[in-house]
């Protein structure tokens, strides 16, 4: 193999992708100090599998990634790819199919390195062996660094051996030999441990055999216990179902009582609804009548107050009138006195005139008396005029007072009439309570009664429909409950039998009886004929198993009258030859046909009697665990079919009940409406 190309990306100072071609012959790199010449050699060593960061002149392996500068940011990844020419096919067998190999090492900051050869991810050890077979590598003397010549001269013999192995090209073989020695030592240790384990296993085999026999007995006893427990559970189930039936009967009676009470409550609710429907109108009438009564009482109170004021005014006017009448009487008396005075004075004047005619001597005295009389007359006339004016004033005031009194009396009469009318209205209102809206309420009542009669007719039809629907619903609940109880009972028995017949968990080699199906009535016969042989496995890897031994075409036929048990049993083909040599007969025929048996043949009765060809005879006894298991398996199949049929019947009854319940709900809604 020859190195042909080196590609660097982000490795130390080579921040940009850089590719170096290694041509045939001598290739040299010339440059000033610090330009990165030694980084190329370190890149070669790094891609060849160098694992020491100290040899890479760093404080950690992440230092091989470009750390950044003033002008460039740091990189998070470095990758070096080395291309090899493998045209001479000297690479390891795993990579020797291609002419060109590309070895790539990639490192990401704080995540470690990955190696790839031709794009396929490999181990660092694979890369190191690849270069070791080519007499080179990360620490090979072929890569000469500064100061290495002096190290080689002063090296110890062990280090010189390493140099000679590299020069001879056997460094890879040395590594492989070391690895092979480690594997051989590990294999020797494993063999030693295996011998110890085998010794322990040999010591445990006998104990395991005893445990296996105990486990067999335990399984038999456990099956008996499970059977007894199942019987107890079945008895408890029957008792629980009896209690359940009694409770359901009580529940049905309670439901009927609830239905009756519900009908009574519905009727009461209907009457309450009708009464509640009429209450608002009555309350409105009562409120209107109460408002009218309040208005009438308020008007009556106002009229009574006005009447009291009128009476007070009439009393005042009466008192004024009495005073005026007194004044008028007094004025009339004064007028009468004045008239009397005038009459008296007129008589005196006539007397004086007569006297003047008779006696002239008394003329002057008469004249004086006349003047006095005239003055008295003028004064009397003035008094009369004043009295007449006062009388006129009093008469005017009397007329005004009489008119006011008449008005007061008229208003009193009107108030009394209005008061009487209000009394009559109040008595009428109190007599008829709400007389005004009574006619309207009667009409509304008549319409409501007509609507009630129509609604009663519809409700009667709805109640009849509802009663029929509920009767049908109640009639269907019984069959549904019975079908559901039957389905639940069968499903419970199926579940119990499934648990009882379930194979033991962790059983590596299940018994062949698990794979056998036997016709009804032949379970005891099969169990008596095969016995414990049914506990063997059909797996040939099991310690005790059934194995196929051919079709048995040359085997002798059973005696005439014996029916082969194979016709009533379905199971693994390994049992076919054995079952073909077992005949099922009656107890009487068994005694007769026993002498006709060939070697290997067995006669068995359905009751469990056994007659074997070598003379062994066994009377019918209690059925074996295998026979009981087969019988329970058949019973489980029957129960499963019965459970499926019962569940289908229960679902059909449930759907029918849902239909009838829907009709009942519709009828109940119609009755409620």
Percent of the chain with pLDDT over 70: 82
Q: Which residue has the higher pLDDT, 266 or 357?
A: 266
Whether 670 shows a pLDDT value over 60: the answer reads: yes
Q: What is the DSSP letter of 403?
A: H
Q: What is the model's pLDDT at position 225?
A: 92
Q: What is the model's pLDDT at position 429?
A: 61
- Summarize pLDDT for 253-276 with one digit per residue, the tens: 888 888 888 888 878 777 877 877
Q: What is the model's pLDDT at position 103?
A: 92
For residues 377 and 342, is the Cβ–Cβ distance under 8 A?
Answer: yes
Count of C-beta atoms within a 10 Å radius of residue 583: 26
Q: Which residue has the higher pLDDT, 404 or 44?
A: 44
Work out the average pLDDT over 621-644. 72
Length of the chain: 673
Whether 426 shows a pLDDT value over 70: the answer reads: no
Q: Pick the closest to residue 6 from 102, 99, 76 (CA basis).
A: 102
Q: What is the model's pLDDT at position 9?
A: 92
Taking the C-alpha atoms of residue 587 and residue 605, their distance in angstroms, rounded to an integer, is 6
Per-position b or e across 586-621, b if 16+ CB within 10 A of its CB: eeebbeebbeebeeebbbbbbebbbbbbeeeeeebe
Average pLDDT, the chain: 78
| 85 Cβ neighbours under 8 A, 6+ residues apart | 1, 2, 3, 4, 99, 100
Taking the C-alpha atoms of residue 423 and residue 297, their distance in angstroms, rounded to an integer, is 10
Strands, sheet with 2-9, edge to edge from the N-terminal-most edge strand? 18-21, 2-9, 77-85, 100-108, 112-117, 120-122
Whether 505 shows a pLDDT value over 50: the answer reads: no
Whether 353 shows a pLDDT value over 80: the answer reads: no
162-176, 380-394, 462-476, 500-514, range with greatest mean pLDDT: 462-476
Work out the average pLDDT over 424-449. 64
Taking the C-alpha atoms of residue 163 and residue 239, their distance in angstroms, rounded to an integer, is 95
Work out the average pLDDT over 11-16. 89
DSSP assignment string, 538-598: S-TTSSSB-------TTSPPPPTTPEEGGGGEE--GGGHHHHHTEEEE-HHHHHHHGGGPP
Q: Find the helix packing angle between 438-501 and 171-358, rounded to 10°.
A: 160
**In three state form, how does the secondary structure of 463-524 look?**
HHHHHHHHHHHHHHHHHHHHHHHHHHHHHHHHHHHHHHHCCCCCCCCCEHHHHCEECCCCHH
For residues 638 and 631, is the Cβ–Cβ distance under 8 A?
Answer: no
Q: What is the model's pLDDT at position 96?
A: 79
Taking the C-alpha atoms of residue 198 and residue 184, their distance in angstroms, rounded to an integer, is 20
- Summarize pLDDT for 561-580 with one digit per residue, the tens: 888 877 888 878 777 778 88
Q: What is the model's pLDDT at position 145?
A: 65
Q: What is the model's pLDDT at position 102?
A: 92
Whether 435 shows a pLDDT value over 50: the answer reads: no
> In terms of C-beta density within 10 A (0-12 exposed, 13-18 middle, 19 or more buried), how is residue 518 classed?
buried
Whether 661 shows a pLDDT value over 80: the answer reads: no
For residues 466 and 654, is the Cβ–Cβ distance under 8 A?
Answer: no
Q: What is the pTM of this model?
A: 0.31
Whether 19 shows a pLDDT value over 80: the answer reads: yes
Taking the C-alpha atoms of residue 630 and residue 343, their distance in angstroms, rounded to an integer, is 170
Cα separation values, 361 from 348, 356, 366, 369, 374, Å: 18, 8, 9, 14, 21
| 423 Cβ neighbours under 8 A, 6+ residues apart | 300
Work out the average pLDDT over 1-17. 89
Whether 15 shows a pLDDT value over 50: the answer reads: yes
Taking the C-alpha atoms of residue 403 and residue 320, their distance in angstroms, rounded to an integer, is 13
Taking the C-alpha atoms of residue 268 and residue 625, their distance in angstroms, rounded to an integer, is 68
Strand partners, 9: 79
Which pLDDT band, with edges at 50, 70 and 90, does 330 fall under?
confident
Whether 660 shows a pLDDT value over 50: the answer reads: yes
Among 7-21, 76-90, 112-126, 525-539, name the one with the lowest average pLDDT: 525-539
Count of C-beta atoms within a 10 Å radius of residue 117: 20
Rounded to the nearest 5 degrees, what angle is found at the Cα of 93, between the Cα atoms of 90 and 96? 55
Work out the average pLDDT over 339-345. 73
Taking the C-alpha atoms of residue 112 and residue 122, their distance in angstroms, rounded to an integer, is 14
Taking the C-alpha atoms of residue 423 and residue 418, their distance in angstroms, rounded to an integer, is 8
Strands, sheet with 563-564, edge to edge from the N-terminal-most edge strand? 563-564, 582-585, 602-605, 610-612, 617-618
Q: How many Cα atoms are found within 13 Å in the side-chain-facing hemisphere of 525?
A: 25
- Which H or E element spans position 112? strand 112-117
Six token digits for residue 132 = 């070791």
For the CA atoms of 20, 145, 95, 84, the dihedral, rounded to the nearest 10 degrees, stands at 20
């Amino acid at each position: 193999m020859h190195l042909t190309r080196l590609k660097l990306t982000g490795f130390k100072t080579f921040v940009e992708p850089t590719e170096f071609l290694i041509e045939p012959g001598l290739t040299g790199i010339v440059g000033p100090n610090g330009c990165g010449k030694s980084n190329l050699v370190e890149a070669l060593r790094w891609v060849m599998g160098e694992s020491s960061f100290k040899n890479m002149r760093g404080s950690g392996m992440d230092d091989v990634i470009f750390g950044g500068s003033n002008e460039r940011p740091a990189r998070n990844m470095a990758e070096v790819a080395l291309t090899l020419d493998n045209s001479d096919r000297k690479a390891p067998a795993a990579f020797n199919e291609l002419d060109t190999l590309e070895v790539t090492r990639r490192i990401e900051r704080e995540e470690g390195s990955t190696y790839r050869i031709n794009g396929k991810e490999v181990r660092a050890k694979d890369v190191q062996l690849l270069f070791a077979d080519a007499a080179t590598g990360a620490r090979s003397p072929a890569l000469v660094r500064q100061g290495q010549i002096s190290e080689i001269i002063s090296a110890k013999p062990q280090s010189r051996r390493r140099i000679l192995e590299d020069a001879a090209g056997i460094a890879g073989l040395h590594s492989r030999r070391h690895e092979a020695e480690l594997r051989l030592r590990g294999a020797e240790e494993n063999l030693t441990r295996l011998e110890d384990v085998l010794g322990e296993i040999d010591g445990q085999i006998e104990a395991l055999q005893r445990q296996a026999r105990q486990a067999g007995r335990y399984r038999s006893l456990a099956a008996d216990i499970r059977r007894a427990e199942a019987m107890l559970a079945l008895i408890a189930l029957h008792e629980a179902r009896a209690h359940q039936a009694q409770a359901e009967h009580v529940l049905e009676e309670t439901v009927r009582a609830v239905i009756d009470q519900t009908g009574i409550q519905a009727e009461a609710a209907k009457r309450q609804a009708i009464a509640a429907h009429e209450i608002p109108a009555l309350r409105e009438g009562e409120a209107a009548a109460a408002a009218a009564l309040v208005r009438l009482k308020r008007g009556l109170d106002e009229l009574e107050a006005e009447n009291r004021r009128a009476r007070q005014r009439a009393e005042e006017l009466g008192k004024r009138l009495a005073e005026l009448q007194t004044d008028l009487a007094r004025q009339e008396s004064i007028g009468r006195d004045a008239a009397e005075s005038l009459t008296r004075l007129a008589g005196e004047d006539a007397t004086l005139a007569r006297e003047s005619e008779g006696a002239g001597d008394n003329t002057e005295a008469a004249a004086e008396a006349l003047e006095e009389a005239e003055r008295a007359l003028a004064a009397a006339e003035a008094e009369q005029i004043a009295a007449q004016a006062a009388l006129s004033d009093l008469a005017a005031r009397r007329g005004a007072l009489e008119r006011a009194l008449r008005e007061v009396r008229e208003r009193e009469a009107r108030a009394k009439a209005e008061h009487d009318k209000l009394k009559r209205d109040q008595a009428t209102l109190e007599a008829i309570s709400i007389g005004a809206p009574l006619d309207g309420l009667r009409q509304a009542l008549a319409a409501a009664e007509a609507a009630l009669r129509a609604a009663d007719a519809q409700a009667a039809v709805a109640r009849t429909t509802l009663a029929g629907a509920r009767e049908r619903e109640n009639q269907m609940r019984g069959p549904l409950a019975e079908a559901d109880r039957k389905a639940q009972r069968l499903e419970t028995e199926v579940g119990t039998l499934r648990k009882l017949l379930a194979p033991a968990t962790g059983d590596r080699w299940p018994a062949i009886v698990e794979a056998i199906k036997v016709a009804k009535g032949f379970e005891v016969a099969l169990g008596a004929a095969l016995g414990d042989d049914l506990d063997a496995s059909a797996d040939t890897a099991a310690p005790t198993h059934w194995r196929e031994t051919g079709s048995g075409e040359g085997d002798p036929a059973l005696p005439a009258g014996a029916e082969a048990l194979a016709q009533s049993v379905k199971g693994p083909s390994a049992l076919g030859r054995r079952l073909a040599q077992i005949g099922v007969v009656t107890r009487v025929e068994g005694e007769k046909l026993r002498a006709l048996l060939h070697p290997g043949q067995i006669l068995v009765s359905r009751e469990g009697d056994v007659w074997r060809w070598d003379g062994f005879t066994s009377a019918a006894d209690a059925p074996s665990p295998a026979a009981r298991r087969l019988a329970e398996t058949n019973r489980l199949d029957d129960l499963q079919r019965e459970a499926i049929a019962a569940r289908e019947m229960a679902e059909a009854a449930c759907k029918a009940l849902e239909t009838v319940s829907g009709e009942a709900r519709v009828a109940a809604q119609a009755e409620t409406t």
